[in-house]
Amino acid sequence: MAKNRDSFYFETFTACAEISCQAGHMLVGILRDFRPEKLEEYLDEMHKIENSADMKKHDMLDRLAKEFIPPIEREDIIALSQRIDDITDKIEDVLLRIYMNNITEIEDDALQMLDIIIRCCEKVTELTKEFADFRHSKKLKEVIIQINDLEEEADRCFMKSMRKLHAECQNPLHIIAWREIYIYLERCADTCEHAADVVESVVMKNS
């Protein structure tokens, strides 16, 4: 029975990570076939995805509040649930900035960054699946390193995109709008790394 109770947390981590992937793939679809006139509709759909992630996180925290002995420390469960939720939040934030900044065309560099973010999200999902057996997993460390590498790749893409934006664009409003969007895209990758950092910390504490 205790083992079944423990599995709830790890399964919910994975479910929340899968929702972040769903949000990421939705954003890719929106930006690759960009229709500015449908942005409000897209925002509603994205918010439903983000809300479903919130509900799963709240279910987990409600269970944790009643749990006598959780499978890992309470603060680690709270931290990891928040970091994974942050991924979905930041993906939604990108779409919000595209809407608020009245973007009508998508920069190719944004799509390149988003491709990296999708790979990050998929690796976080893989990470959560391995995390259930973190005391014996032989892949967990490798997946953490892969997420770190992807975050560094996102950083390099971010710097290249920002330099190109400021070097080639003469429209200050365009620069301001896209600068903000690139920053939020980079934060998506950061949050994936933050989730990996929590998992790595748990492994270290239980070694």
Residue by residue, pLDDT tens for the chain (207 residues) are: 345 667 899 999 999 999 999 999 999 999 999 999 999 999 999 999 999 999 999 999 999 999 888 889 999 999 999 999 999 999 999 999 999 999 999 999 999 999 999 999 999 999 999 998 888 888 999 999 999 999 999 999 999 999 999 999 999 999 999 999 999 999 999 999 999 999 999 988 877
Whether the Cβ atoms of residue 34 and residue 22 lie closer than 8 Å to each other: no
Asked if residues 23 and 123 have their Cβ atoms less than 8 Å apart, the reply is no
- Planar angle of CA 77, 78, 84, nearest 5 degrees: 90
Q: Report the C-alpha gap between 192 and 125 in whole angstroms.
A: 10
Q: Which domains does the chain have, with CATH numbers?
A: 2-205 (1.20.58.220)
